[in-house]
Amino acid sequence: MYDIFDPLSVEADQVAMRWTAIVAATTQARQGRLADDARADVVGRRLDELYRKVRKSARLNGRRPHRSPSSAQYG
């Protein structure tokens, strides 16, 4: 505990509270980013599976499948 009449101890306590808030906000942001990355992975995997099914279906029907949107982007 600090002495409320000592300005240095009050300031130190305020700094500690600010630091705790910064650390908590950073941790929450990281967790949110990880959750977003995980969702993006799931969506990407599902799109890949869907694209494979479409290609397989096109092959079975004797048509040449279109290029995937992602490969068209890169070349």
What confidence score (pLDDT) does residue 14 get? 80
> What residue numbers bound the domain in which 51 lies?
34-59
When mean pLDDT is compared across 5-9, 31-35, 40-44, 68-72, the lowest value belongs to: 68-72
> pLDDT category, 75, cuts 50, 70, 90?
very low
Count Cβ atoms within 10 A of the Cβ of residue 65 and give its class: 0-12 exposed, 13-18 middle, 19 or more buried.
middle
Q: What are phi and psi of 63, to 5 degrees?
A: -100, 150
Rounded to the nearest angstrom, the gap between the alpha carbon of residue 12 and the centroid of all alpha carbons in its chain is 35
Residue 41 placed within a domain: yes
Residue 2 placed within a domain: no
Residue 15 placed within a domain: no
**What is the tally of structural domains in the chain?**
1
Q: Give this prediction's pTM.
A: 0.40
Residue 4 placed within a domain: no
**Quick one: tokens of 59?**
């092959």
For the stretch 20-65, pLDDT in tens is 888 888 888 888 887 888 888 888 888 888 888 887 877 777 665 5
CA distances from 59 to 32, 41, 65 (A): 41, 27, 7
Residue 53 placed within a domain: yes
